[in-house]
Amino acid sequence: MVAFSDAYSTGEVTGRSNVAPRQEWQVNVGMAERIAAAMAGGAIAYAAVGRSTITRTVLGAISGSLIYRSISGHCPVYERLGINTAGKRRPELRR
């Protein structure tokens, strides 16, 4: 049985074969940095409470990106720059 997401990415559902398949990425952020990013993201989210709408939106975006980075272990900026602080172990994750 083909999962819906697999069928969609291969074009079986849409009838188009030009639908891009899922991309894979690797963990490129070390554990200590992930913990620090989670703590910083939480602190920034807490600081955003009670601020003006624009400030709250900007702080929310920053905290969200830090929390994403800490949970996934992947940083798109690091990927573009070729940086890997995760060490030699680089388990692959699937989007």
What's the rounded Cα separation, in Å, for the pair 31 and 74? Answer: 11
What average pLDDT is seen over the chain?
A: 80
Query: How many residues are there in the chain?
Result: 95
pLDDT bracket for residue 49 (50, 70, 90): very high
Domain residue ranges of the chain, discontinuous segments joined by +: 25-94
Mean pLDDT, rounded, for 69-88: 91
Buried b (16+ CB within 10 A) or exposed e, 63-74: bebbbebbebbb
What is the reported pLDDT for 24? 75
pLDDT bracket for residue 25 (50, 70, 90): confident
What is the reported pLDDT for 87? 84
